[in-house]
Amino acid sequence: MAVDYDTAFRTYLAKRIEQIESADIVVGIPCYNNDSTIVNVLKQVSRGLARHYKSARSVILLSDGGSTDDTREIAREEEIMPWQEKVIFIYRGVSGKGTALRAIFEAAEKLNVRACAVVDADLRSITPDWVRYLLEPVIEKNYDFVAPNYSRYKYDGTITNNVAYNLTRALYGKRVRQPIGGDFALSRKTIQSYLSHNVWTTDVARFGIDIWMTTQAIANGFKVCQTNLGMKLHDPKDPASSLGPMFRQVVWTLFTLMEQHFSLWKEIRSSESVETFGAQELLEPEPIKVNHELLIQDFTLGFQHFGATWKQIFSPVSYATIEKLAGMDAKEFLLPATSWAQILYEVATTFHRWSKDRAKLVDIVSPLYEARVASFINETADMTTAEAERVIEEQAEIFEQEKPYLLQSWDAGEKEPKATGMLQKGLGV
């Protein structure tokens, strides 16, 4: 079990923050093994602060997870503007992005900042204007949370496009297009709210942090907007080979938040857009490679291993769709958006009723996420990114339309699926 530290500060960071005393702006950069990109990110942040907020007292914080490459050494050597502060440190606590952000938030709160922005360390497309695009809504327009919006290739951000955006919009009624984007800004009030929650030994301390922040900002009634940052080029991850832990942590956090905020989202029947600022032009992004064949292969193996368990978890209609999918070849492979919405809602309902190893439950349905991604690739193969975006929007609308299905099943029937032998075997209990 992870140690529950009362702070993410180590001694060095505590001393440096005490020396700096106060600041107007903090820009945090959570990092881990980013020595190929960290110099450019640092350079662009420093230039952005100098160009747009030269009179402000600014601190750049690199919150490192114990990099084994030269990230910290390279960052120390990079010169920033002489009137800016730079602090490079290893945080304390559970290894993960959430703990890296906890350290940044604690520092920002102690420095009594007006605004805090965070950018990812693997960015290749960041410009000095990103600093203004993120901070301006907080500093000049009194927003509490600024989510990013990007021009991303149609197969980048598959967890966002197929899970996080749909659920955030349908559940909480806000069309925040990138609810798990890694680049954002927030007010001091929001920082204090986040730090008041004891979540730092859960998946929130890892990849669950972004969806947790977005959801908490909406659920607490904070002023939320989004800002266009233009094209996002970063170290992309193939959904077939790299996104397993991220999927599990994001979905676990989403489903846990559904339980916490049930009284809120059960009353929401539609969605609304949020104010959007930032860049006016979103360019066509560079394509990335995805392994369509491996996505289908992972689903097929998942069906072989977990099919009997899925049959007990899902409704007869949903299971029949899954079973049919397992017999399709790659070219005709299609999981309709309506079926995907119902499947994901049924998983959420099972998670709500299940009291045992919920992480295992999320793990065994991850092949269905890969099936939906493979289906989306087939649907949009000949489309531009802009055309594929319309398909994503149509899917989000379907999730809204299917919300009564979720509400109907949320508290219906038995509280927990009966732990038959096959279900116990599938869930490892």
Considering the domain architecture, whether residues 122 and 233 belong to the same structural domain is answered as yes
Q: What is the CATH number of the domain that holds 128?
A: 3.90.550.10
Quick: pLDDT tens for 209-266. Answer: 999 999 999 999 999 999 999 998 876 555 655 567 889 999 999 999 999 999 999 9
Considering the domain architecture, whether residues 222 and 333 belong to the same structural domain is answered as no
Q: Give the mean model confidence (pLDDT) for residues 78-84.
A: 97
Residue 351 structural domain: 292-427
Quick: pLDDT tens for 359-403. Answer: 899 999 999 999 999 999 999 999 999 999 999 999 999 999 999
Considering the domain architecture, whether residues 157 and 18 belong to the same structural domain is answered as yes
Buried b (16+ CB within 10 A) or exposed e, 245-284: ebbbbbbbbbbbbbeebeebbeebeebeebeebbbeebee
Quick: pLDDT tens for 288-326. Answer: 889 999 999 999 999 999 999 999 999 999 999 999 999
Considering the domain architecture, whether residues 105 and 209 belong to the same structural domain is answered as yes
CA gap 230, 314 in Å, rounded = 40
Cα 130 to Cα 278, 288, 427, distances in angstroms:
8, 23, 44
Residue 122: inside a domain, yes or no?
yes
Considering the domain architecture, whether residues 264 and 321 belong to the same structural domain is answered as no
Please identify, among 278, 304, 326, the residue that sits at the C-terminal boundary of a domain: 278
> What tokens appear for 294 in the block?
């491996």
Please identify, among 251, 278, 305, the residue that sits at the C-terminal boundary of a domain: 278
Residue 2: inside a domain, yes or no?
no
Task: Report the relative pairing of strands 25-31 and 58-64 from DSSP bridges.
Answer: parallel
Q: Give the mean model confidence (pLDDT) for residues 44-61.
A: 98
Please identify, among 250, 278, 306, the residue that sits at the C-terminal boundary of a domain: 278
Considering the domain architecture, whether residues 73 and 141 belong to the same structural domain is answered as yes
| pLDDT-derived band at 205, boundaries 50, 70, 90 | confident
The rounded mean pLDDT for the chain is 93
pLDDT of residue 285: 85
Strand blocks (E) in 104-255: 115-118, 145-151, 174-175, 184-187, 224-231
Residue 6: inside a domain, yes or no?
no
The model carries a pTM of 0.94
- Counted domains in the chain: 2
Residue 384: inside a domain, yes or no?
yes
Residue 343: inside a domain, yes or no?
yes
Q: Give the mean model confidence (pLDDT) for residues 7-23.
A: 98
Residue 286: inside a domain, yes or no?
no
| pLDDT-derived band at 426, boundaries 50, 70, 90 | low
Considering the domain architecture, whether residues 337 and 241 belong to the same structural domain is answered as no
In the predicted structure, residue 418 carries a pLDDT above the cut 70 = no
| pLDDT-derived band at 413, boundaries 50, 70, 90 | low
Quick: pLDDT tens for 129-168. Answer: 999 999 999 999 999 999 999 999 999 999 999 999 999 9
pLDDT of residue 429: 46
DSSP state of 32: S
Strand, coil or helix: what is 263?
A: helix
Considering the domain architecture, whether residues 76 and 171 belong to the same structural domain is answered as yes
Considering the domain architecture, whether residues 272 and 382 belong to the same structural domain is answered as no
Considering the domain architecture, whether residues 259 and 330 belong to the same structural domain is answered as no
- Are 239 and 366 in contact by the 8 Å Cβ rule? The answer is no
Considering the domain architecture, whether residues 221 and 322 belong to the same structural domain is answered as no
Considering the domain architecture, whether residues 222 and 116 belong to the same structural domain is answered as yes
